[in-house]
Amino acid sequence: LKFLCYSNDGVDEHMIWLVGLKNIFARQLPNMPKEYIVRLVMDRTHKSMMVIRNNIVVGGITYRPYASQRFGEIAFCAITADEQVKGYGTRLMNHLKQHARDADGLTHFLTYADNNAVGYFVKQGFTKEITLDKERWQGYIKDYDGGILMECKIDQKLPYVDLAT
Ligand code: ACO
C-alpha cells in the first residue's frame, strides 16, 4: 500500500491514477457534477493524495493548498466502495496532514463535509467550530450549500505517519 501525492504534471502514471481517482469520486459523490470533479482533479492548483494498491488507485483526497494563507481546502475525499471501513480513509488523512505540513507549510484544513461524512471527519480531528481567522480564508473558499464547513488544525510536531515503514 502506497500513499502518493501528485497534481496534473503530465506524467503518464500519475495521469492514470488521477483519472482512476476522478472515477471513484464520481461514483462515491453522486451529488457532485462530474464535470466539476474532472475540472478540480485535473486543475494544476489542486493536488491529490492517493491510496495506491498493486499500482491501482483505491481512494484519495483532492485539495487546494493556499500557500500564502497556510491553509488547504479539501474538495473531495473518497475510498472505493469495496475498500471502505478498512482503515484506509484514516491512514489517507494522516498522510495528507503530514504532507500538507511538511511539503506545503499548511497549518489548517477546511472542508465542506457532506452530512453523512461528518462522523468520518470528526474522527480525523475536524470540528464544526472554525478557529482560523476569517481574514485568512474569506474570499478564498467559496460558500457551498450542500455541506457543513469543518476545520482541522494540523499539529506542527506530531508524527502523523511513520515514513520508515
Ligand atoms: N460516518 C461516520 N463514521 C464513519 C463514516 C461515516 N460516513 N465513514 C467512516 N467512518 C468511521 C469508521 O467507522 C471508522 O471509525 P473507527 O475508527 O471508530 O473504526 C473511522 O471513521 C475511519 O474509518 P476508515 O475505515 O478509515 O474510513 P474509510 O476507509 O471507509 O473512508 C470515507 C471513509 C472516505 C468517508 C469513505 O467511507 C467514503 O468514501 N465514503 C463515501 C464518500 C464520502 O462520503 N466522502 C466524503 C464526502 S465529503 C468531501 O468529500 C469533502
Place of cell 492514470: 16
The question of whether 73 is a catalytic residue gets the answer yes
Q: Which domains can be identified in the chain, with CATH numbers?
A: 2-153 (3.40.630.30)
What is the rounded average pLDDT of the residues 32-60?
97
Q: Is 84 in the pocket of ligand 1 (CB under 6 A)?
A: yes
62-114: pLDDT as tens digits: 999 999 999 999 999 999 999 999 999 999 999 999 999 999 999 999 999 99
Centroid of ligand 1 to alpha carbon of 140 (angstroms): 26
What is the rounded average pLDDT of the residues 4-17?
97
Q: For all residues of the chain together, what is the average pLDDT?
A: 95
Atom nearest to 24 CA in ligand 1: 39
Residue 165 pLDDT > 60, yes or no? no
What is the rounded average pLDDT of the residues 139-156?
90
What is the rounded average pLDDT of the residues 36-57?
97
Of 35, 73, 129, 151, the catalytic one is: 73
| 99 three-state secondary structure | helix
Residue 10 pLDDT > 70, yes or no? yes
Atom nearest to 29 CA in ligand 1: 42
Centroid of ligand 1 to alpha carbon of 88 (angstroms): 9
**DSSP of 6-72, one letter per residue?**
E-S-S-HHHHHHHHHHHHHHHHH-TTS-HHHHHHHHH-TT-EEEEEEETTEEEEEEEEEEETTTTEE
Query: What pLDDT does 145 receive?
Result: 76
Quick check: 108 and 134 in contact, CB under 8 A? Answer: no
Centroid of ligand 1 to alpha carbon of 135 (angstroms): 31
Q: Which of 48, 85, 109 to mutate to test the pocket of ligand 1 (most atoms within 8 A of CB)?
A: 85
